[in-house]
Amino acid sequence: MNLSLADSGRRPALSADVATLAYRVLAVLLLCAVLALASEAFFTAANLLNVLRQASLVFLIASGLTLVILTAGVDLSVGANVALSACLAATAIKATGSVLLGVAIGFGCGAGIGLCNGLMVTWLRIPPFIATYGMLWVLNGITYWYMAGDTIHGFPPGLRALGSGHLFGVPVPIYLMLAFLAAGTLFTRYTTYGQEIYAIGANMEAARLSGTPVRARLNLVYVLSGAMAGLAAIVYLARLNSAEADIGESLTLPPIAAALIGGTSLFGGVGTLTGTLVGSIILTLVLNGMNLLAVNANWQPLVTGVIVLIAVWVDIVTRQRAEARA
């Protein structure tokens, strides 16, 4: 039959996702090599486990955020979300002694915030970056007012184990990271919801005209992003054994950086949770390296900012090149 023009029989050697991942894993190995040479404190079991634990905290937040970015959206409120959820959960735990209640409240608060974000985007049609940016400040305000400068500390050992405990010598948060990596990958690759989310990010109007319930899926991803922030809040509580209003300060940019480094495209439709995991590791390695080399901690926000810019620029250049090839 008629094989129409312009369609070369050339098949890509590796699927795009696998190639993306490969480059990033290479970057991890490279970084490890460089750091091992630069500092003898790097290549110890303790430090490596530390890196992984830090990375898992970032990953927990970044995983939900990845889903949002997949739909060509963004959630700038995750950091503030963690702060408020942590403080509310902490209050509940101190008041009733029940860890379970605290977890439920933290989770619920996070998810509720996520739902508000989702409704602002789908119902009020506010662009995601404005809606979640406004939410960031609202949450910040509420958290600082609520805590009034206090700190809540001293939680039951059951909770603390979640953040500081070890299982077979490996910190618990790492298990959480792997668990949510598995859950998230299952969701994105093996459910129809995952397929629809990728479709929405790739072309929202085409998805809508194919019968995809776009608004429902958008609300879902924002709720999930918020819920994961709520979950991360619990783990932070467990790890720091205290809750203060400012724990969210440094949690706005790093999860976005992690997702972007991992190959998630801001323009939607491209990205994987495994990539975000690797991205979290890369980011943490860089920051860990700076710590080991006794670089002033004040450089960290700067470096994170530069990394975000580079990651976005790479994304744009890749798209332009792909565009030219088509």
Partner 1 sequence: MREENPSAPLVEMRGISKAFPGVRALEDVSLLIRAGQVHMLVGQNGAGKSTLVKVLCGATAPDRGQILFRGKPATLSSPADARALGIAVIFQEFSLVPYLDVAQNVFLGREFPGKLPGSINRRRMHAEAGRLLQMLGTELDTHTAVHRLGVAQQQMVEIAKALSQDARILVMDEPTAALSGREIERLFEVVRRLRREGVAIVYISHRLHEVFELGDWITVLRDGRKVASMSPADTRMAELVSLMVGREVDTTYRHRFCERPGEAVLEVRELHAENGLHGASLRVHSGEIVGLAGLVGAGRTELARAIFGADRITGGEIRMQGHALHASGADRGPVGSVRAGIGLVPEARKTQGLALIRSVQDNLLLAALRSLFPQGWYRPRHASRVSTELIGRLRVATPSPRRLTKFLSGGNQQKVVLGKWLTAGSRFFIFDEPTRGIDVGAKAEVFGLIESLVAGGAAVLMISSELPEIVAVCDRAYVMRDKTIVGELLRTELTEENILRLAWHHG
Partner 2 sequence: MAESAILRERSHWAAHFAAIPGVGYILAAMLAGFSLVSPGFGTWANFSNIGVQSSILLLLALPMTFIIMSEGLDLSIGAVLGLCGVVLAMVLVDGRGVGLGLAAALAVGLAFGMVNGALVVGAHIPPFVATLGTLGVAQGLALVITDGRSVVGIGDALPALYASTWLGVPFSIVVAAAAYFVFHFLLYHTRFGAYVFALGGNRDALVLAGVRVNAVHVAVYALGGLMAGVGALLLTGRMNAGHPIAAIGMEFDAIAAVIVGGTSFERGNGWLPGTLLGALTVGVLRNGLNVLAVPSSLQVASIGVLVIVALLVDSMRGRS
Asked if 119 interacts with partner 1 (CB under 8 A), we say: no
**Contacted by 124, from partner 1, partner 2, none: CB < 5 to 8 Å by type:** partner 2
Q: Which is nearer to partner 2, 182 or 297 (CB)?
A: 297
CA torsion angle for 219, 258, 132, 72 (degrees, to 10)? -50
Which of 10, 11, 40, 125 binds partner 2 (CB under 8 A)? It is 125
| Residue keyed to tokens 């369609």 | 7
Q: Which is nearer to partner 2, 233 or 259 (CB)?
A: 259
AA identity, residue 171: P
The option from partner 1, partner 2, none interacting with 192 (CB < 5 to 8 A, set by class) reads partner 1
Q: Report what 140 binds from partner 1, partner 2, none; CB cut-off 5-8 Å by kind.
A: partner 2
Q: Exposed (0-12), middle (13-18) or buried (19+): which is 205, by Cβ within 10 Å?
A: exposed
User: How many residues touch partner 2 (CB under 8 A)?
Assistant: 41
* String of contacts with partner 1 for each residue 9-48, x by CB under 8 A: xxx---x---------------------------------
**How far is Cα 190 from Cα 116, in angstroms, rounded to an integer?**
27
Site for partner 2 in 85-124 (CB under 8 A): 120, 124
Considering the rule CB under 8 A, would residue 210 count as an interface residue with partner 1? yes
Query: Nearer to partner 1 by C-beta: 26 or 206?
Result: 206
Residue 85 Cα distances to 107, 124, 220, 232, 250, angstroms? 7, 24, 19, 9, 15
String marking each residue 169-208 x if it binds partner 1 according to CB under 8 A? --------------------xxxxxxxx-xx--xx-xxxx
Q: With CB cut-offs between 5 and 8 Å by kind, which of partner 1, partner 2, none does residue 46 bind? A: none
Question: By C-alpha distance, which of 281, 278, 317, 272 is closest to 24?
Answer: 278
Rounded distance, CA 17 to CA 29, Å?
19
* Residue 133: its H or E element: helix 128-147
- DSSP SS3 for 153: strand
Q: Residues touching partner 1: how many (CB under 8 A)?
A: 36
Q: Is 133 in the site for partner 2 (CB under 8 A)?
A: yes
Tell me if 326 contacts partner 1 by CB under 8 A: yes
Binding of residue 209 to partner 1 (CB under 8 A)? yes
Contact 310, 293 (CB under 8 A): no
Going from the C-alpha of 216 to that of each of 59, 74, 121, 161, 167, the distances in angstroms are: 25, 17, 11, 36, 39
Which window, 103-111, 188-196, 203-211, 291-299, contacts partner 2 (CB under 8 A)? Answer: 291-299
Enumerate binding residues for partner 1 (CB under 8 A). 1-11, 15, 189-196, 198-199, 202-203, 205-213, 269-270, 326
